[in-house]
Structure 1
Amino acid sequence: MSAVNDTKLNSAVFLLTGIPGQEDVHLWISVPFCLMYVISIVGNSVILFIIKTDPGLHEPMYIFLSMLAVTDLDLSISSMLTTLGIFLFNSREISLNACFAQLFFIHVLKYTESSVLLLMAFDRFIAIHDPLRYASILTLPRIAKMGLVCALRGVALILPIPFLLQRFQYCRANVLSHCCCLKQEVMKMACSDIRVNSIYGLLVTIFTVWLDSLLIFLSYVMILKTVLSITSHAECLRALNTCVSQLCAVLLSYTPMIGLSNVPLHFHVLIANVYLLMPLVLNPIIYARPLGQGKGSALKLGG
């Protein structure tokens, strides 16, 4: 195909990919993906409903949990339409503007999720390290401001990326290797100089995921140090128990995909999709136990 035709084609659409080489079983693959989306949407919706309707759960820990549920719910919806469209209807085409919009929302929500996990680690640190001042430090107005800052940080850092991507000429193959539009994949399709975008993307990752993960790690180090100083074995276990669910969620979100560089492409893409969806599915399950403990647990967590 000529360069002119390539340019014309790629200026109109990108082609998303399901599982390469497994097109004949896409319908069967859609079953677990549909199940994961249903669990994610229903689970996070139930968490939001319970927290909203139970006044005993209007505590900082559960407010932060509701922020995480909203983020995961939005992330499920942002990635669901194209993923299920490919597996169920073989609908692979996506316009450039729609692609840029999807990658904007996916990356904003992923970075917002990282920020919320940091806030949840800070919440546990205050509850364990300084329980007597817990309620005075984490007031509702302050929590609202912290949540707003998390969302604005994600939007401010990702907003330039779609505009930078729109400036590129896309004259290479227009087939993306995932079910969703991701900025790294889109940049590979450009025949322009992408060094500025690559540097900016690296800086954004450093000042979001890397920085958040470092601060979360330091928070749990301080939590562990405080817990080990507690003389009562029962109190020590109770303090650690309040952190188990959040620590599981952190590990689930930050555990890197190790050893995928030399595996077949179809397996790499499958794991990448599962890696995107798994936190959205498992977070409601992870938090079901502390949420079910209700108001009595919430009061204990603060003191």
Structure 2
Amino acid sequence: MVADTGDRSGGKNRYSLSEHGFTAPNLEPALYIVSTPIGNLGDITVRALQTLAAASVIACEDTRVTATLTQKFSLKTPLLAYHEHNADKQRPKIMRELEAGNAVALVSDAGTPLVSDPGYRLVRDVVAAGYKVIPIPGASAPLAGLVAAGLPSDTVLFAGFLPQKNGPKTKRLEELARTPATLIFFESPHRTGATLSLMSDVLGETREAVVARELTKRFETFERGTLAELSERFADQTVKGEIVILVGPPEEKPDADAEDLDSLLQEALADMPVSKAAKQVAKATGLDRDEVYKRALDLKSGS
């Protein structure tokens, strides 16, 4: 049910900022996707505060986390726990609020909702029911990391969290290896070193990369270097805080012609099995690994 952070009587649509009180304007009925700070509470926007103050309810991942924000800015709007594990139960309550002509605000624990979380299902249901969805932009860890990384930002692919197990993680990185874009990942601090090592193996040792930690917070840091350098730097390091890994796009390599490919494969096949030879040559030439593997099988069989 709705958990109220305070008495709304006399405080409807009210919020405070820098010890000054304000009254927010009423909102049209809609689902509002509200970005909240990722660390520094000073990153909240005035529009976000007005929206949170005037909404009939704030749907949030963890009421305890969001209560820290609402208390900081004297917000009295009721909180409704809404997350992956209770979504089926809570979604009808949100829909009833919209049916009643109310405004509902959706927030995550930090940053922009729906970025690497399953909130899109609620948005789809709201749109299908004919209600408006209004974004309230603000803080976002991927964008904060990108603009300070010094990596190309014209084409970007946000890949979220990689699979935890090495097999699926390797496969996913192989799928992304030739993507002509800066790649952005979230990662757990205790897996950062191992992930950087695997990235170095799969994406290439010389790829430029940045590890951004604790963005907007007191101990914000940016570690820059090649994947090989970062892998070595983080190998035995105890990492704390939230991590964003950014990997620059692959270097453009000239296409190898058929004769060059066969020569490289024959040289590799002399010392290693087909799969390893194909992987090495594909990595060196930038060619599709599956195509290189098929050619390696042909050469091995004498076709």
TM-score tier by shorter-chain length is under 0.3
Could you tell me the TM-score, scaled by structure 2's length?
0.21
Larger radius of gyration: 2
Kindly indicate whether structure 1 or structure 2 has the higher relative contact order, using CA contacts under 8 Å at least 6 residues apart.
1
Could you tell me the TM-score, scaled by structure 1's length?
0.21
